[in-house]
Structure 1
Amino acid sequence: MTLSIASGFATRLWRRAAVAGLSFLFVAAVGTPAAQAQLRVDISGVGATQYPIAIADFSGSGNTQVPEIIRADLTRSGQFRLISAAGATLDLESTVSHDEWQARGADYLAFGSVTQDGGQYTVSYRLVDNARKAELDKVAFSGTEAELRRISHRIADRIYEKITGVRGVFSTRIAYVLQTGNGYELQIADADGQNPQVMLRSRQSIISPAWSPDGSRLAYVSFESGKPVIYIQTLATGQRAPVANYKGNNSAPAWSPDGNRLAIVLSRDGISQIYTINADGSDLRRVMRSPLIDTEPRFTPDGDSLVFTSDRGGNPQIYKVPAAGGDAQRLTFSGSYNISPRVSPDGSQLVYVTRRNGAFRIATMALSTGSEQLLTAGPDDQSPSYAPNGMQILYSSIQGGQSVLAVTSTDGRVKQKLSSLSGKVREPTWGPFTD
């Protein structure tokens, strides 16, 4: 068995399996707020195009949370330049002076109201194009006070899409593993890192979380039984069940686009190889046979193929194979170490971790041409994951000696750092659109 994927997923998994005989404590904690402080967002860079927009304070109950969240969402994207709306008094029925707002520098203006009736809130908003003197959007949402953050994200998504033509991802969620002094936590949070919730706690390692295509379930690997076992957990209820618990290592789950099957990695025959299996644990099928390690499979968006990491060529590189089995095709040729592949939602690009001059960096490659772009500088950037609209990439990073979640735009221009006050953040994955 080769150890050439020295710093990659496979060897980390073997190392954890070797020490997994320690005692453990497992607690399922559905919806439990995370104990550590919420994540702080630092932003650098701007997009190639920035849209000047003003977000006025919302009238009504005096709630300031909604416009603040919308402003923060649009700012984080790097594609909007926020114009001050200070001194403006607008309600939902106001007549907008488009020329006045254009004179302020705002091509677009969003405003609205928040009203309360008992425990129910109604958030109404309008979006106008000042240059064209036209209304672009008008909608109302209702919910409880606890749902105001999600409503705000949905409004930001609508603004983003109406102006850019691309669906927004502010109301999506992310998942990641947090290693603390007490063990490991599988957490989910809003895409901005806020509102973290603990889905699972364990004394032993939790690795490789993967969202189901409908966002209702997570597959992951837990070492709680003394060896790596693949589980699927329903987020709404906390109910979970083992899907793969074969002899040896069970690792690297990845969902098919229809949510019916998983690609997984098993060492039941002595070396890590790729299989597919139904989400209920039935109908295990081996994809191919290789004399060396095959790991980290991911379905392509059409579900027809898998991309994966293998050292079959002497060092870890990324390959592609039909999901039903067949001959593998090598995809990466730049550098001697390329791992952790993910295909963009539109199928045009590949993102992965590459090692250059001793630094682990995030790179993308155009699948049609093989052209590569390095997006990050390292020194230790890992586990890239595309946003569901394909415009950003989430990854884990060591920056200033601190373990953080980070986001980069796919052109590398805009970067975000979501920093936590305690713990090591690992293996992030961006969830799908859910409505």
Structure 2
Amino acid sequence: MTNRTRTPRTRYAQSLICLLFVWAVMGSNSALAELTIRITEGADAAIPVAVVPFSESEGIPSSDKISSIVQDDLAMSGEFRTLAPEKMLSLPSKRSEVYFRDWRLLGQRYVLVGALNRNGDRVEARYELFDVNREERIMGATAGASANNMRTLAHHISDKVYEAITGVPGAFSTKLAYVTRDSANGEPRYRLQVSDVDGKRAGIRLESKEPILSPAWSPDGRKLAYVSFETGRPVVFIHELASGNRTRIAEYRGLNSAPAWSDDGRSLLLTLSKDGNAEIYRIDIQSKNLKRLTNHWSIDTEAVWDHTGNGFFFTSDRSGGPQIYHKSSEDAEPRRITFGSRYNARARPDNDGKFVYYVHQRDRAFHIAKTDLESGEETVLTRSESDESPSVSPNGRMLIYATKQSGNSVLTVVSADGGDAYSLPASQGDVRDPAWSPILR
């Protein structure tokens, strides 16, 4: 290969590394970023549901009201329209107190009632969900948690209600991982944080003066893989969340980036430039053995397994600009997926092989888009102009991405059809690179 051919590719590889730094250092000089919830809008066809304040025995903690959390969870999905308690005609806590005519007058489709009882250090919740039009109970259960873990109990109830109505498992008990950036004493501080899906109970898992990028959850939700520049160069780590133990997985010469777990948790897809060009590799976590999966003069990066666990999507500029490609197996020929603009990158497939989501450039703005893998039809889902880093919820009904609102960095969740649901703005600082956990067992 001549120098004339090699030099542009080398420059592009260097620019890719520089771009990682740019993504990481963009931010404001402020204190620790914490997420707060702000509902933007729900779908036009949102289902009306009334979450009646649960009755409470003595000793129930005054904070973290379970019914309020359930109401917020359902509203933030974008699929439900909840009724404010002050508009309710009565506050029933069991079947005999539910008068369906009242709820029909209020235009409600479903009503959830319940009661909380303190039993030592535990709180027991009895709850029932009713179909107002059919005047029948469609779900009832009892669940418990420690008195200092009310939010976990509330998210559990939200999941059960969501599944009873939609037939799809809820994702409210899942977690978010993301990176925040702020400044302390004139120095940048990067923090890898994990929170509830509504941004509450955030905890710092790693803090560094150097950039942290691309967190990715293991299939069991117990580990995170990510890129850290704490050594002065990009290194891929695996971080056990319970113990805090970390293992260096990839620290080759050049670029080490974009980790993505296999379904069995035994290997990672990585982008490495150790041989001079950015290519996709699979690394066995135990043995550290590498298999090169792409071999092209272009830049190949941001690989992620498809729903089968055998093939993968990746970003490549082999057609002249970044586009999404798919290989049906490790050794198959790549097939181009996106054609709608000159820039499509960072693919994130759904769980059943119907769609792939990605960052899409149109008219100098960056949006989140999806392509129907059967028809090839492309749909732009977002209306903001600086959208990046999509991550799909484990039930496939929502996705989260980073964007800017009024100059501030926020995480925003939209339904899979593009209806805005809610945003998680940082109270201070900059937040980006969200990753949605699997459903935790």
Query: Please, what TM-score do these two structures have when normalized by structure 2?
Result: 0.89
- What does residue range 153-168 of structure 1 map to in structure 2 within 5 Å? 153-168=155-170
Q: State the shift of 1:48 in Å.
A: 4.4
Larger deviation, residues 339-348 vs 77-86: 77-86
Matches within 5 A, 1:48-197: 48-61=44-57, 63=62, 65-85=65-85, 86=88, 88-92=90-94, 94-182=96-184, 183-197=189-203
Distance apart, 1:296 and its partner CA: 0.3
**What is the distance in 2 between the residues matched to 1:213 and 1:418?**
24
Quickly say closer, same or farther: Cα 1:14–1:97, change in 2 above 3 A.
closer
Secondary structure of 1:181's partner?
Answer: strand
1:25 is matched with which residue?
Answer: none
CA contact (8 A) 1:395 1:407 kept: yes
Give the alignment partner of residue 229 of structure 1, picking from 221, 235, 241: 235
Q: Which residue of 1 aligns with 2:43?
A: 47
Cα distance in 1 for partners of 2:309, 2:130 equals: 40
Map Cα deviations across residues 239-270 of structure 1 (whole Å, 9 max, x no partner): 11111122222111001122121100111101
State whether structure 2 residue 317 is matched by structure 1 residue 311: yes
2:366 is equivalent to residue 367 of structure 1: no
Consecutive unaligned residues in structure 2, runs of 5 or more: 1-7, 26-30
Instruction: Please tell me the residue identity of whatever aligns with 1:194.
Output: K
Alpha-carbon distance, 1:134 to partner: 1.4
Mark the CA change 1:348 to 1:124 in structure 2 (over 3 Å): closer, same or farther.
Answer: same
Identity of aligned pairs, percent? 38
Cα distance change of structure 1 residues 322 and 14 upon mapping to structure 2, 3 Å threshold: farther
When residues 298 and 237 of structure 1 are mapped into structure 2, their CA distance, relative to the original with a 3 A threshold, is same
Deviates most, 4-13 or 321-330: 4-13
Which residue identity is paired with 1:50?
A
d(CA) in 2 for partners of 1:9 and 1:113?
A: 55
Which residue number corresponds to residue 23 of structure 1? none
Q: Decide whether the 8 Å contact of 2:32 with 2:182 is kept in 1.
A: no
Paired residue secondary structure (1:99): helix
Q: Secondary structure at the match of 1:160?
A: helix
SS of 1:72 mapped into structure 2: helix
C-alpha deviations, 1:46-73, integer Å up to 9, x for none? Answer: 3243222211111123657100001111
**8 A contact 1:4–1:311 mirrored in 2:** no
1:430/1:5 Cα in 2 relative to 1: closer, same or farther (>3 Å)? farther
Aligned CA distance change for structure 1 residues 82 and 8 (closer, same or farther; 3 Å): farther
Task: Give me the whole-angstrom Cα distance separating, in 2, the residues matched to 1:389 and 1:57.
Answer: 27
Q: Does 1:390 align with 2:379?
A: no
Contact 2:258–2:303 (CA under 8 A) maintained in structure 1: yes
Query: Per-residue displacement from partner, 1:163-199 (whole Å, max 9, x unpaired)?
Result: 1222211111111110111410001111111111111
Greater mean alpha carbon deviation, residues 171-180 or residues 133-142: 133-142
1:53–1:212: structure 2 CA closer, same or farther, 3 Å change rule? same
SS in 1 for 2:193: strand
Look up the equivalent residue of 1:13 and give its one-letter code. Answer: L
- Runs of 5+ consecutive residues of structure 1 not aligned to the other structure: 20-34
Residue identity opposite 1:65 in structure 2? K
Over residues 323-349 of structure 1, what are the superposed CA-to-partner deviations in whole Å (9 max), with x where a residue is unaligned? 422321111111111111111111110
Q: Is the 8 A contact 1:4 1:314 kept in 2?
A: no
Structure 2 matches for 1:209-358, cutoff 5 A?
A: 209-358=215-364
2:410 is matched by which residue type in structure 1?
Answer: V
For residues 80-107 of structure 1, what are the alpha-carbon distances to aligned partners after superposition, in whole Å with 9 as ceiling and x for unaligned?
A: 2223444524334644222332233222
SS in 2 for 1:288: coil
Q: What is the number of residues matched between the two proteins?
A: 419
In structure 1, the residue matched to 2:415 is 409
Displacement of 1:37 in angstroms is 6.2
SS in 2 for 1:2: helix
Matched position secondary structure for 2:161? helix
Q: 1:8 to 1:167 in 2, by over 3 A?
A: farther
Aligned mates of 2:20, 2:278 — CA distance in 1: 11
Q: CA deviation at 1:226?
A: 1.4
Question: Among 12, 16, 23, which residue is 2:19 paired with?
Answer: 12
Contact 1:5 1:11 in 2 (8 A): no
SS of alignment partner, residue 314 of structure 2: strand
Across the aligned residues of Structure 1 and Structure 2, the Cα RMSD in angstroms comes to 2.3
Which residue of 2 is the match for residue 32 of structure 1?
none
Flag the 1:356–1:140 CA change in 2: closer, same or farther, 3 A.
Answer: same
- Find the counterpart in structure 1 of residue 4 from structure 2: none
- Contact kept, 8 Å, 1:385 with 1:394, in 2: the verdict is yes
- Are residue 2 (structure 1) and residue 4 (structure 2) matched? no
Q: Which moved more, 1:254-263 or 1:277-286?
A: 277-286
